[in-house]
Amino acid sequence: MPEGVLAVLRELERADEQIGTALVDLDRLADDLDSVRATVDELKAFAARLPAEREGCAVGLERAWAETSAAQQVLEEAEAAVRAAAPEVAQEAERFHVRARDRASMAERRVAEAAAARGDLENRAGKATIEGHELHARARKLAAELRGRPRFAEHAGKEPGPGLDGVKAWTEVARASLFVARGQLSIEREAVIRQANELGAVALGEPLSSMGTGALTRRVEQALG
């Protein structure tokens, strides 16, 4: 009966739309998981570099302080030379003093730059710690969203273990489970579309290439009047 054919096609169309919505939702979850995993990798890479960068900052600051101390000593000698210089060597003593003063100023700037670099590094380390806690909370929220979903393995909804390693391990499990769930939905959608096309071909009395369920339903509606 035409009405029966259309009823089934419309039901298949609704099923197709529902599966499509579910697939979009899984794609969103996949993007969120990929974002979490990428951030974990960035934070772990920074943590691995941090000891060496801290040592480099400490060495740089120590070297800058040593240069400042040496430059200050030379400056004091230059100032004393200016005070004690005879008239015939006063100009040379003044030039020596100018160079010593410039050297001391440069050394002080290096100290300030080295201290700023160390401060910036510690600020980034503090932010990385906070970001790690926020990332763990984000991962727990995603795990809760996956928990109890059909087609998802039970361990995908478990809370991540402690630290960045725990989050990284959880993302791998959740991503694998999501991949399986998406594959199952895609198979179901293909079956719905195939069934709709087979029914449409019978209703129209002609072979059909694979059409979307919506377009197919509209075509059969028009053909059946």
| pLDDT tens digits, one per residue of 131-173 | 999 999 999 999 998 887 877 877 788 889 999 999 999 999 9
Average pLDDT of the chain to the nearest whole number: 91
Q: Encoding tokens for residue 96?
A: 């020596």
Q: Quick check: 105 and 120 in contact, CB under 8 A?
A: no
Q: How far apart are CA 179 and CA 174, in angstroms?
A: 9
User: Residue 13's CB: how many other CB atoms inside 10 A?
Assistant: 20
Domain 2-223 has CATH 3.40.50: no
pTM: 0.79
Q: Confidence class of residue 200 from pLDDT cuts 50, 70 and 90?
A: confident
Q: Confidence class of residue 225 from pLDDT cuts 50, 70 and 90?
A: low
Q: For residue 25, what pLDDT is reported?
A: 92
Residue 128, Ramachandran bin (φ over 0: left; ψ between -120 and 50: alpha; else beta): alpha
The domain ranges of the chain are: 2-223
Q: Which residues of 202-220 are buried (b: 16+ CB within 10 A; e: fewer)?
A: ebeeeebeebebeebbebb
Which residues does 188 contact at the CB level (< 8 Å), separation at least 6?
A: 19
